[in-house]
Amino acid sequence: QKEVEQDPGPLSVPEGAIVSLNCTYSNSAFQYFMWYRQYSRKGPELLMYTYSSGNKEDGRFTAQVDKSSKYISLFIRDSQPSDSATYLCAMSRLNQAGTALIFGKGTTLSVSS
């Protein structure tokens, strides 16, 4: 079983839809959970960052972590065409020096106007 699993999509939604992106993981030692957004021909940029379990909201974006199920989600409300990108989940272990983040393979999202 891979450490981090993410459905690659593609996911196509109309403007205004609620989008749900998900990752599952196998290593219970993961403590830091992140979502990165990557536009075409650009480097990934951090979107959301959470430590341990719970929810975090930032504008139209909500990140959820369920450590008991080893499942993380990113919700996008009122999706916009500018949200069209690849979304990468990432996670790392507490006090794991150096090797940093384990990334999912990314889900490609397309929001049509």
Residues that bind another protein (CB under 8 A): 32, 34, 36, 41-46, 49, 88, 92-101, 103-106
Beta strands 102-103 and 85-93, pairing class: antiparallel
Min dist CB 7 to another protein, Å, is 13
State how far the Cα of 63 lies from the Cα of 76, in Å rounded to an integer.
Answer: 9
**41 — phi, psi (to 5°)?**
65, 25
Which CB, 17 or 110, lies closer to another protein? Answer: 110
Minimum CB distance to another protein, residue 44 (Å): 5
Which residue, 74 or 106, is less far from another protein as judged by CB? 106
User: Shortest approach of another protein to residue 76 CB, angstroms?
Assistant: 20
Q: Which is nearer to another protein, 26 or 112 (CB)?
A: 26
The strand pair at 19-25 and 71-76 is best described as antiparallel
Q: How far apart are CA 65 and CA 50, in angstroms?
A: 8
